[in-house]
Structure 1
Amino acid sequence: MRRQDLSPSLLSPANYDNDASSLRSPSEQDSDSDDDALLHQNRSTLELAEHDRAVLEDEEELENLLTRGTGQGIRRIFSPHGGSVRIGKKKKERRSRRGSRRERVSEDGELMYEMEEGIGDDNASLLSCSSLDSVDKEEYTYEPPPRPSWRKILFISALVVVLFLILVLGAYRASNGVRASHAHPPPLLSNGTALFAPTTIVISLDGFRADFLGRGLTPALNSLVANGVSPQYMTPSFPSVTFPNHFTLMTGLYPESHGIVGNSFWDPVMGEEFYYTNAAVSMQPKWWMAEPLWVTAEKQHVKTAIHMWPGSEAHIGDVEPSFVDNYNGTEALSRKVKRILEFLDLPGSEDDLQVVPERPQFIAAYVPDVDRDGHKFGPNSTEIRTTISEADKLIAALMTGLEQRNLTDIVNIVVVSDHGMASTSTERLIQLDDLIDYDLIDHIDGWPSAGLRPKRPEDLESLQRQLEKIAPDWEHAFEFYTRETMPKRYHFSINERIAPLWVIPKTGWAIVNHSEFNVKDALKTGEVYHPRGIHGYDHENPLMRAIFIARGPAFPHKPNSRVEVFQNVEVYNIVCDSLGVNPLPNNGTLRLPLMPVGLHSDESAPMLGTPPDPPAQPATAEGPRTQTSVPPSEHTQPPNDTPHGTDHKSDDEKGTNWWGQLWNKFEDLKNWAGGVADAVKGNHPESESE
């Protein structure tokens, strides 16, 4: 229907609603109707067409604005003019004009009433807006927002990303300790009277050689093996001495990484010497370059009690153990057992919410007796048998205490040692100051090895040439390496605390100088060299083997389980896992649960046996080599990079037949008799080599 054909009467509200009544009189209504009719008659066809076109343009513009809404919203954020986007001019003025038009149209009749109340057809709406839209169209101009600078977008994006990462990192660091140890807290175990969080006791029997378990002196330790899990032996780290290996057990790091590279060493940066028996020096935190387990555990809200462990008095890090017992070399073994059980009897947080928890979950105790008497009397002496038996009684008393408290299957117990022990002899000494020029040396590190620090850089080459010259005659007694040629399996090269040149004696040999011991005079007089037992040799030698035995809820293996041999850098992770402590990065790879390869009682299980002490010397073309004979002159220096896992077993361990063993005994007896005869004559073979 065309607009000009519309009847004027249709604009009246009465034509849409019969019930509609006017607020004005009938005469006023008639007058309005006449005016409306006259108004429509006066509108031309051109005006109506112009109005229709304006309405269509308005609708199209509205649709475009709705379609671009999201994109414009994003661009509005980065607009240099803030959040406003101008899409026309003088919006407020346009609204005022529309208002004035409404007032003008309302003077002609009821049209304004129909528009405001929503009563009337579309034609009436179009009619009332035609003139208004035509005016707006003339003034409307679209001004697109300026494009934002790409530099500004990049800067703001980078700023948002950095702020987000800072928030995430802060939240992670703030919750790391709690999250690591308590995200999935292990279940509490009850002994019938109290609840116990994961608890582990580590006992270190210093100097306890692995084959000591086969001497019939250790029923408690053997029972622990039979009811727990263990390898045949554990390999220490090089150098196989006390302080480096005890710190390795508590960090999982090789000595070159944790900084305690010997019982004594020189630090060229600090210009100071570390010596383990001088507590005023060695117990300063500056020497200890790694965080031990007791610090890590305390940071993760696991209380610790450390009884005389080497390094525990050094105040390492910013957290102290809950309990620290200072070293006392004369403490009775029974007192150690009592002290450990006292820790277990303390109240825990699960006992009473009103009581401050005191019971430690990690207890580490150091037992020096076997090492002390091994040095004093030798590993094959009668005295050491008594000491081994006493150490076993300590384990028996501890297990009895756990059983009385119903904690045998509640508390984990781990028994380790740091190294083994080898017998010494006056016939196996290296008078090093007779072989090289000591005037070129500034410091000598380590023992029984000798780490040589020259006074000047050029002296290093001179010392190395001297050692190369004598090496063919002493290949049975020592090896020498620079830091660069050190065997990789030693993991002993990357720290400045490691001297640049090392003389490493073969197992059973020792290095001396005249100020300590005169070898030539001792051989003539029969003077006995002390200490009678020494360690610190190649860590893979059978006489240096240590022990690892574990039992408890963290080790749910079959009794008498056997695992593959491993090095002591693995102990740290194992103990951390038993406590639910998140370990720091380290050189170990084993994690709980351990994977047994069988039982110690299996017929296929290899026999540990007893390594010969001292080790048998290699034979020469002239026959078996004696301890004091002058070696052949050919130079057979060992390779610089012996692969890890090289077989260091003696001929006896590899299955030499009984005839070979008997022959070795006969040769030892013959050598002894010859040595006595030479001593009487005053021409000991050792003197001939000098």
Structure 2
Amino acid sequence: MKRIILMAVVLLVIHTGSYAQDTTQQVTEGRRNSATQQSRPYVILISIDGFRYDYADKYHAQHLLRLSGAGVRATAMQPSFPTLTFPNHYTLATGMYPSHHGLVDNHFYDRKRDAVYKVGNREAVEDGTWYGGVPLWVLAEKQKMISASYFWVGSESAIQNIRPTYYFRYQEKTGIDQRIQQVVNWLSMPEEQRPHLITFYFPEVDHMGHRYGPETDSVRKAVQFVDAAIGKMTEAVSKLNLPVNFIVVSDHGMQQVSTSNIITLPDTPVLKPLKVAFGHEKVLLYGNNEAEIKAAYDFLKQHEDHYTAYLKKEAPERWHYGQEDVYDRIGDIILLAEPDYAFGMSGKSIPPGHHGFDNNLANMHAIFMAWGPAFKSNTRIGTFENIHVYPLVARILGLDITQPIDGKLEVLEGILK
């Protein structure tokens, strides 16, 4: 009996991710910046998860407003569809739409592998074979430039058998001061070991947005916490007198949803044979044959109630999604909730804050701010797609892009000096 209880505890630890609270730095030994790369500038790419396009003004993010006011600030940055964390962080890292790099959702099914990718599954998250494209840190390392990551989607995986030289497994245990000091420590290393690309991630604003909704004091406090941290990081880094460029982005915005507006999938035999990858804002359904798919789609279309049903092949072209599914991972049927509604389970509550809706919705839009020696001063630009960040970073670092991407340098080239 004791052995059964112990095994249950072990399984609980594994499935809750408690084992992932590893706070130690992971280092790939033996790498060095080439002589050419030692002379390149530096980029710190910061993501604030769930930081909606209007939060900086709305919640008085004084440091971000001041720093981007003296540098570059966009009206907004449009995330790729779906407006979810993993697809968009990996789009920022690769310059490719989710349908092209393979992370098509936070939760999806791969027919060829007969396997499911889900953000809470550490084995899948750390398996580099799920990830297409060439992330910025892989591009850098292949060209003899050292990179570091204090969290970014994909950075824990050996993509093309390469991870950043310095990285951390994702956890939320390490305090912000220690994380900022790690950035300073990286930039204080000898030139041949010093990372020129650093990615850095903040989860706090997204957490509060989900839990309490975007129009709350909790989100305001989270915004100001992150704002203060970025102010502190910028000040600490400036003392090193290095040509460091900061780019601050987010993956998506946040939408208030009535917690009583719950959409439940109908309990019908027509849907039973299909695999379901569930999300509050979007549901993917996978059929075994055309007859199953047609029957399910026809039923769902006839019973549309605060959601829209799409066949994959008929999804809006502007999403660059269904018809461009390189890895065949998108459901045969896509259900997308209206912005004030969310999918849920009967009898279970839903949180008030959501993202994952249509990327044309303003409340799904993200931020883009940048400052440093590479950027023009006092520059304002309009809204642009997040696929264009990748070629911008590559240009600043002097990296050659080695495979086709969706992003285009000319979109943001004008903000560089």
Deviations 1:110-135 (A, max 9, x none): xxxxxxxxxxxxxxxxxxxxxxxxxx
Alignment correspondent of 1:588: 407
> 1:362 is matched with which residue: 197, 202, 209?
197
CA pair 484-337 structure 1, distance change in 2 beyond 3 A:
same
Task: Return the alpha-carbon distance in structure 2 between the equivalents of residues 331 and 451 of structure 1.
Answer: 35
**Alignment counterpart, residue 385 of structure 2, candidates 567, 570, 575:** 567
Q: Given the superposition, is the C-alpha separation of residues 452 and 359 from structure 1 closer, same or farther in structure 2, using an over 3 Å criterion?
A: same
Residue 488, structure 1, aligned to residue 320, structure 2: no
Does 1:429 find its partner at 2:257? no
| Distance apart, 1:220 and its partner CA | 0.4
Aligned 8 A contact 1:554 1:593 in 2:
no
Q: Secondary structure at the match of 1:540?
A: coil
1:513 Cα deviation (Å)? 2.9
Q: 2:227 aligns with which of 367, 392, 401?
A: 392
Q: How far apart in 2 are the matches of 1:320 and 1:387? A: 30
> Partner residue of 2:158?
315
- Of stretches 326-335 and 575-584 in structure 1, the one that deviates more from structure 2 is 326-335
What is the one-letter code of the residue matched to 2:317?
K
Partner of residue 373, structure 1: 208
2:286 aligned partner, one-letter code:
R
Offset of 1:506 from its aligned partner?
Answer: 1.5
**What is the identity, as a one-letter code, of the residue corresponding to 1:282?**
V
**1:478 is aligned with what amino acid?**
Y
**Paired position in structure 2 for 1:553:** 373
Question: Is residue 126–residue 156 contact of structure 2 (8 Å, CA) maintained in 1?
Answer: yes
In structure 2, C-alpha distance between the alignment counterparts of 1:437 and 1:510, rounded to whole Å: 22
Residue matched to 2:126: 283
Q: Structure 2 length as normaliser, TM-score?
A: 0.86
Aligned residue identity for 2:340? G
What amino acid does structure 2 have at the position aligned with 1:575?
A: V
Q: 1:116-158: CA deviations, max 9, x gaps?
A: xxxxxxxxxxxxxxxxxxxxxxxxxxxxxxxxxxxxxxxxxxx
Q: Take 1:492 and 1:593, find their aligned partners in 2: how far apart are those partners?
A: 23
Partner of 1:289, secondary structure, is coil
Q: Aligned to 1:531, what secondary structure does the other structure show? A: coil
Select the residue among 209, 220, 234 that pairs with 2:52. 209
CA contact (8 A) 1:577 1:591 kept: no
Q: Give the Cα–Cα distance (whole angstroms) in 2 for the partners of residues 224 and 456 of structure 1.
A: 54
Contact 1:207 1:371 in 2 (8 A): yes
Change (3 A) 1:323 1:438: same
Q: Match for 1:364: what amino acid?
A: T
Equivalent residues in 2 for 1:235-246, closer than 5 Å = 235-246=78-89
Gaps of 5+ in 2: 1-33
Aligned to 1:595, the other structure's residue is in SS state: helix
Distance of 2:292 and 2:88 partners within structure 1: 31
**Which residue in the other structure is 1:418 paired with?**
251
Superposed counterparts of 1:614-625, under 5 Å:
none
For 1:320 and 1:543, locate their aligned partners in 2 and report how far apart those are by CA, in whole Å: 33
In structure 2, what is the equivalent of residue 60 of structure 1? none
Counterparts in 2 of 1:593 and 1:425: CA distance versus 1, 3 Å: closer
3-state DSSP class of the match of 1:383? helix
Residues 109-258 of structure 1: pairs in structure 2 closer than 5 A: 197-258=40-101
Distance 1:592 1:497, change over 3 A: closer
1:259 maps to which of 99, 102, 106: 102
**What is the match of residue 335 of structure 2?**
503
Deviations 1:302-344 (A, max 9, x none): 1100111111111111333211111112332222211111111
Q: CA deviation at 1:421?
A: 0.7
What residue ranges of structure 1 are gaps of 5+ in the alignment? 1-180, 189-195, 349-356, 519-528, 597-690
Among residues 139, 148, 173, which one is paired with 1:296 in the alignment? 139
**Residue 324 of structure 1 pairs with residue 153 of structure 2:** no
- CA distance in structure 1 between the partners assigned to 2:280 and 2:94 by the alignment: 23
Q: Structure 2: how far apart are the matches of 1:592 and 1:205?
A: 22
Tell me how many residue pairs correspond in the alignment: 379
Q: Structure 1 residues 535, 435: closer, same or farther in 2, change over 3 A?
A: farther
Match in the other structure for 1:443: 276
Q: Deviations over 1:588-637 (max 9, x none)?
A: 113487336xxxxxxxxxxxxxxxxxxxxxxxxxxxxxxxxxxxxxxxxx
1:403–1:505 Cα change, 3 Å: same
579, 591, 602: which one pairs with 2:397?
A: 579
Aligned to 2:15: none
In the other structure, the counterpart of 1:402 is 237
1:349-399 CA deviation, whole Å, 9 max, x = no partner? xxxxxxxx2111110111111111211121112211111110101111011
Alignment map for 1:594-605 (pairs within 5 Å): 594-595=413-414
Match of residue 89 from structure 1: none
Kindly state the Cα deviation for residue 427 of structure 1 after the two structures are TM-superposed.
Answer: 2.9
Mapped contact 1:448–1:511 kept (Cα < 8 A) = yes
Q: Show CA shifts across 1:398-419 (max 9, x none).
A: 1111232234xx2111000000
1:476-507 CA deviation, whole Å, 9 max, x = no partner?
Answer: x2211111110001011132100110110122
Q: Does 1:460 align with 2:303?
A: no
Aligned to 2:24: none
Letter in 1 for 2:248: V
**Residue identity opposite 1:464 in structure 2:** Y
Alignment CA distance shift 1:592-1:578 (3 Å) = farther
- 8 Å CA contact retained: 2:40, 2:398: no
Whole-Å Cα distance in 1 between the matches of residues 89 and 230 of structure 2?
19
Select which of 284, 302, 311 maps to 1:469. 302
d(CA) in 2 for partners of 1:455, 1:484: 16
Q: Could you tell me how far apart the structure 1 residues matched to 2:193 and 2:411 are? A: 27
Query: Aligned residue for 1:272?
Result: 115
Match of 2:11 in 1: none
Q: Which of 359, 362, 365 is 1:539 aligned to? A: 359
Q: Which has the higher helix share?
A: 1
Sort the Cα spacing of 1:216 and 1:272 in 2 relative to 1 into closer, same or farther, 3 A: closer
Shift of 1:434: 4.9
Contact 1:563 1:594 in 2 (8 A): no
Matched residue type, 2:369: I
Residues of 1 paired with 2:272 and 2:113: CA distance?
23
CA contact (8 A) 2:274 2:287 kept: yes
Q: Which has the larger radius of gyration?
A: 1
1:60-118 per-residue CA deviation (whole Å, 9 max, x = no partner) reads xxxxxxxxxxxxxxxxxxxxxxxxxxxxxxxxxxxxxxxxxxxxxxxxxxxxxxxxxxx
| Structure 1 SS opposite 2:206 | helix
Relative distance call for 1:218 and 1:435 in structure 2 (3 A) is: farther
CA distances 1:648-667 after superposition (whole Å, capped 9, x unpaired) = xxxxxxxxxxxxxxxxxxxx
**3-state SS in 2 of match to 1:200:** strand
Shift of 1:216: 4.0
- Give TM-score scaled by structure 1 length: 0.53
3-state SS of the aligned residue for 2:260?
Answer: helix
Cα RMSD for the two superposed structures? 2.1
Relative to structure 1, the CA distance from residue 278 to residue 262 in structure 2 (aligned partners, 3 Å threshold; closer, same or farther) is: same
CA distance in 2 between counterparts of 1:593 and 1:244 reads 21
Larger strand proportion of the pair? 2
Which string of whole-angstrom CA distances, capped at 9 and with x for unpartnered residues, describes residues 548-603 of structure 1?
A: 11111221x232x112321000000001111011123200113487336xxxxxxx
